[in-house]
Structure 1
Amino acid sequence: MLPSERLKGIEAFVAAAELGSFTAAAERLNLTTSAISKSVARLESRLDCKLFERTTRRLALTDEGSAFYATCSNVLKELADAEAVLAAHGSVPIGRLRVDLPVAFGRSRVMPLLLRYAEQHPAVTPRVSFTDRFVDVLEDGIDVAVRIGIVQSWPDGLARRHLGTERLIFCASPSYLKRRGVPRDIHSLMKLDRVLYGRADGGTSPWRFAEGANVELRDAPERLVLGSAEAQVEAVKSGFGVAQLATWLIRRELDSGELVEMLPDQATEGLPLHLVWPTSRQLIPKVDALLSLLTRELRID
């Protein structure tokens, strides 16, 4: 059997496994549903095993199919990487670019840059995901990711670039401070209504206070608990209370006067910001161009 025919069978199988449908796989590969079905059938015949359990609603991988899929998807990814490295000898960014971003930072800071990037490089198709949960850059085939947070150890095969550390400040709206008074110290601050960030585990993120060279964490009763930093900003702007927020998130509101910083001597460092990418992708023009742009524009202090 010719290598190209064998690869065609693998492509059809992987597409059907990922999409759960011969019809969807056919659309992805620009083939007919019949061609996909026959290709998978020939593959099963050649391997002498059943790869799918077929139902009227959806395809499901058998145990043998799951094992074969894990290998095949890696083979196709390595082939794509090899082709991309060869293409990197050219200078024009081209192809699909997978980017993963934290929700609030991604929308407010990175998205405008990605739109600029897409305009400058029309042959690149960015595919952007926004999530605050852990995403495995290597396993999920991400080209470039932005990470906010402390990582105890970075996996092999992953490159990173430190872009700075958040600055956290206490802020409120002018109308709220006019109604409740401007706090002069931590004691008076803790008497105000607190708008806190709620974590996925049900807890709340404690406030951070500067204690000399150290930082003290303090839990506080809440007026509102919101699972979105952007929602916190809206609540504080609407006069519901005080929040401790990163300056990158509220720069526009601070500049316009919609929010006012309080107790500037209590500003503290938050979480570090990193760009991360697979080392195998860093010489590819589309990746290199995005890394250069984000490195230049995303530095925070």
Structure 2
Amino acid sequence: MHDQRLKDIVPFVASIECGSFAAAAERLHITGSAVSKSVTRLETRLGSRLLERTTRSLKLTDAGNAYYQTCLRIMEELAEAEAVLAAQRSIPSGKLRLAVPNTYGRLAVMPLLVPFCQQHPELELSLRFSDRMVDLFDEGIDVAVRIGDTPNIPVSLACRQMGRERMVFCAAPDYLARAGRPTNSHALLQHPAILYERIDGSTKPWLLQAEDGHVQWRSVPHRMAMGDVDAQVQAVCAGLGVAQMPSWLIREPLARGELEIILPAHQPDGLMLTLVWPRRKQLLPKVDALLETLSQLTIR
């Protein structure tokens, strides 16, 4: 019975992926009738209709969609178990899912992934850009790059801390020529601030040095608040005010002379960069190869 269970799952998944019994049959090198009977047998055993059939298409029912997602996870875990057992082959292959923060992923991770993909042509890379904290297990992620403190990482996950951001104050050269260059925190606060606005509408405070020498987060009055860091950089480059941002974010504008660092002696640490992955996947050649590549990442 268990043998038949697995046999019926494959035609069912193939039917969804291919869009029809005929296309699934062609992929599996069996007849369309065999695919249809396999799916019907599966529905009978489960006592639930999995597919709505028309002459032109197949559509998952709610029960069918839930079962389909479970089948995908089972098939993926079987493939990964086989990959671990065949690890001596040592050639990274198969689907590899990576989650990265939006802007950091584009600026820092993508330049590493281009040669990585060229070096490993047998990999199928799926790259998810998101600033939210993705759930690696629920979303099938192999490795996640995270910016932010992660104190409660479960034992089922492994992690590698890559260092903290360096936060710098910056402004456009023409703005500084027009408004003057602040030489201390008090003078800096007299300039129009351009802040990052969070999803909840609050603004990200600045890291400022207090009178006792300690660095602390401090809310500051502002001229503009931007809900997108790329837009924030553009506003500062346009000479609309000053901002405090991580050095990795403004590396290119600094190199082009579009921005200058203010108060260079005041560059406190910001958020932590961390690599996270499921422990059960760390023996897979594809995950090991990706982690080795991502070990080149820098946050400063």
TM norm structure 2: 0.86
CA contact (8 A) 2:172 2:237 kept: yes
In structure 2, the gaps of 5 or more residues are none
2:104 aligned partner: 105
The aligned runs of 1:85-124 (5 Å cut-off) are 85-124=84-123
SS in 2 for 1:127: strand
CA contact (8 A) 1:22 1:36 kept: no
CA contact (8 A) 2:197 2:225 kept: yes
Percent of residue pairs bearing the same amino acid type = 48
Q: Give the Cα–Cα distance (whole angstroms) in 1 for the partners of residues 254 and 191 of structure 2.
A: 20
CA contact (8 A) 2:197 2:204 kept: yes
CA contact (8 A) 2:93 2:123 kept: yes
Q: Give the Cα–Cα distance (whole angstroms) in 1 for the partners of residues 202 and 35 of structure 2.
A: 48
Please state how far the C-alpha of 1:60 moved relative to its aligned partner. 4.8
Please state how far the C-alpha of 1:9 moved relative to its aligned partner. 2.5
SS in 2 for 1:249: coil
CA contact (8 A) 2:185 2:209 kept: no
CA distances 1:27-70 after superposition (whole Å, capped 9, x unpaired): 7x94698776554322101223333567999835445x566456
1:203 aligned partner: 202
Q: Give the Cα–Cα distance (whole angstroms) in 2 for the partners of residues 164 and 52 of structure 1.
A: 49
SS in 1 for 2:280: helix
Query: Matched residue pairs, number?
Result: 296
Q: Give the Cα–Cα distance (whole angstroms) in 1 for the partners of residues 236 and 180 of structure 2.
A: 15
The aligned runs of 1:251-262 (5 Å cut-off) are 251-262=251-262
Q: Give the Cα–Cα distance (whole angstroms) in 2 for the partners of residues 40 and 217 of structure 1.
A: 59
CA contact (8 A) 1:165 1:300 kept: yes
1:247 aligned partner: 247
Q: Give the Cα–Cα distance (whole angstroms) in 2 for the partners of residues 237 and 191 of structure 1.
A: 19
Moved more, 110-119 or 177-186: 177-186
Structure 1's 145 and 35: CA in aligned 2 closer, same or farther, altered over 3 A? farther
CA contact (8 A) 2:147 2:273 kept: yes
Please state how far the C-alpha of 1:7 moved relative to its aligned partner. 2.1
1:228 aligned partner: 228
2:216 aligned partner: 216
Q: Give the Cα–Cα distance (whole angstroms) in 2 for the partners of residues 213 and 8 of structure 1.
A: 68
CA contact (8 A) 1:169 1:266 kept: yes
Q: Give the Cα–Cα distance (whole angstroms) in 2 for the partners of residues 103 and 281 of structure 1.
A: 24
In structure 1, the gaps of 5 or more residues are none
CA RMSD across the alignment = 3.0
Task: Say if 2:175 is the partner of 1:176.
Answer: yes
Please state how far the C-alpha of 1:75 moved relative to its aligned partner. 2.4
Structure 1's 39 and 198: CA in aligned 2 closer, same or farther, altered over 3 A? farther
1:126 aligned partner: 125
1:77 aligned partner: 76
1:88 maps to a residue whose letter is A
Please state how far the C-alpha of 1:10 moved relative to its aligned partner. 1.9
SS in 2 for 1:98: strand
1:238 aligned partner: 238
Q: Give the Cα–Cα distance (whole angstroms) in 1 for the partners of residues 125 and 83 of structure 2.
A: 16
Task: Say if 2:128 is the partner of 1:139.
Answer: no
CA contact (8 A) 1:209 1:267 kept: no
CA contact (8 A) 1:168 1:267 kept: yes
CA distances 1:203-248 after superposition (whole Å, capped 9, x unpaired): 1111111235632222223322222222211221111211111111
Q: Give the Cα–Cα distance (whole angstroms) in 2 for the partners of residues 267 and 187 of structure 1.
A: 16
Q: Give the Cα–Cα distance (whole angstroms) in 2 for the partners of residues 256 and 129 of structure 1.
A: 29
CA distances 1:136-163 after superposition (whole Å, capped 9, x unpaired): 1122111111010011300232110010
SS in 2 for 1:276: strand
Q: Give the Cα–Cα distance (whole angstroms) in 1 for the partners of residues 108 and 198 of structure 2.
A: 22
CA contact (8 A) 1:15 1:25 kept: no
1:47 aligned partner: 46
SS in 1 for 2:201: coil
TM norm structure 1: 0.86
The aligned runs of 1:155-170 (5 Å cut-off) are 155-170=154-169
Q: Give the Cα–Cα distance (whole angstroms) in 1 for the partners of residues 202 and 32 of structure 2.
A: 49
Structure 1's 39 and 190: CA in aligned 2 closer, same or farther, altered over 3 A? farther
Q: Give the Cα–Cα distance (whole angstroms) in 2 for the partners of residues 111 and 196 of structure 1.
A: 26
